[in-house]
């Protein structure tokens, strides 16, 4: 079954390019396009896509507000924020709004396709420069934060998996580094998310950094 995607960007030419890149992959189906935030929300509610590829700055409603509304109205849809700006405020606000990943618009086409597929599969997708800024902001704002209580409930192996997640490793890469089957890693990741009370890998990574685990 194809990953169903709504693309939201106010620049017609760029949006057409994004659609073309995504449609080139047999595993992705672009079901709708939006040029502003409110339309993106409306189309997400109508089509209930797996992923909404969301521009940050659009007329008639910004992408962060649209992300928050989509996550509230269609919680099963994941939002991948695509921006020209790797600024802390966009990343942190997007995270709080419920975004599952962040990429710069300078990302290569193959990277974009991979990110959308990974996002649909429940993996946190964050470009390296964006991740660095996010974690820098987290460290600055939460140095005095107490360790997350859920960390105490993790088994030793689950903590190993969480640490590997902070390094941006996929399930397959974690399995290779810890000598575990990928299915076992997937099970551990699910347990980590449940015990930490977070919705996805990105949130788990933030918890780990806030708590000084990473």
- Tell me the CATH number for domain 3-137: 3.40.50.2300
Q: Summarize pLDDT for 123-156 with one digit per residue, the tens.
A: 767 765 555 556 555 545 444 445 688 888 999 8
State the DSSP string of 21-42.
HHHTSTTEEEEEEESSHHHHHH
- Given a cut of 70, the residues of the chain with pLDDT beneath it are 61, 85-90, 124, 127-147, 214
Q: What is the pLDDT of residue 145?
A: 47
Q: Is 116 helix (H, G, I), strand (E, B) or coil?
A: helix
Q: How far from each other are the two terminal CA atoms of the chain, in whole angstroms?
A: 36
Domain boundaries, the chain: 3-137, 145-210
Q: What is the pLDDT of residue 85?
A: 62
The b/e string for 120-136 (b: 16+ C-beta within 10 A; e otherwise) is: beebbbbbeebbebbbe
The b/e string for 57-67 (b: 16+ C-beta within 10 A; e otherwise) is: ebeeebbbebb
Find the helix or strand (DSSP H, E) in which 126 lies. Answer: strand 125-126
Write down the pTM of the prediction.
0.68
State the DSSP string of 65-83.
HHHHHHHHH-TTSEEEEEE
The CATH class of 145-210 is mainly alpha
Q: What is the pLDDT of residue 57?
A: 81
* Closest C-alpha among 9, 31, 13 to residue 22: 31
């Amino acid at each position: 079954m194809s990953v169903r995607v709504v693309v939201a960007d106010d620049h017609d030419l760029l949006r057409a390019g994004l659609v073309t890149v995504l449609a080139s992959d047999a595993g992705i189906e672009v079901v709708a396009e939006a040029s502003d935030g409110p339309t993106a929300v409306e189309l997400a509610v109508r089509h209930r896509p797996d992923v909404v590829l969301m521009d940050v700055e659009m007329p008639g409603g910004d992408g962060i507000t649209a992300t928050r509304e989509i996550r509230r109205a269609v919680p099963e849809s994941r939002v991948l924020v695509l921006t020209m700006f790797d600024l802390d405020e966009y990343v942190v606000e997007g995270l709080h709004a419920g975004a599952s990943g962040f990429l710069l618009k300078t990302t290569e086409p193959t990277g974009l396709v991979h990110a959308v597929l990974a996002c649909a599969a429940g993996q946190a997708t964050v470009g390296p420069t964006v991740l660095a800024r996010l974690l820098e902001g987290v460290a600055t704002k939460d140095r005095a934060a107490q360790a997350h209580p859920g960390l105490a409930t993790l088994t030793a192996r689950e903590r190993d998996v969480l640490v590997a997640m902070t390094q941006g490793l996929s399930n397959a890469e974690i399995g290779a580094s810890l000598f575990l089957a990928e299915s076992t890693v997937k099970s551990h990741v699910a347990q980590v998310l449940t015990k930490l009370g977070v919705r996805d890998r990105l949130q788990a990574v933030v918890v780990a950094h806030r708590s000084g685990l990473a």
